[in-house]
Amino acid sequence: MKISYSKEADKFHSSIDLKKLKGKYHGSFRIRKGDTRIIFSIRKEDELTVFVHYIDFRGNVYK
C-alpha cells in the first residue's frame, strides 16, 4: 500500500481527534467531533476493511 503526503492531507489529519480505545472496545478506535463519537475497527487481510460499530452522542456510545 502506497501512502502519499500532501499539505492538504496534513491539514485534514490534524483536525481529526482520533484515539485508540482500551477495555470494552480494545482494538477499536474513536473519532470525536463535538459531542458525537464514531467507534470503528480496521481489519487488513487481502483488503483494508473498516467496520463502523457506533455513531452516537458521547453519553450513549460508552454505556
Q: How confident is the model over 20-43, as pLDDT tens digits?
A: 999 988 999 999 999 999 999 999
The chain-wide mean pLDDT, for the chain, equals: 82
Count helices and strands (H / E) in the chain: 2, 4
pLDDT for res 3: 46
Contact by Cβ (8 Å): 52, 43: no
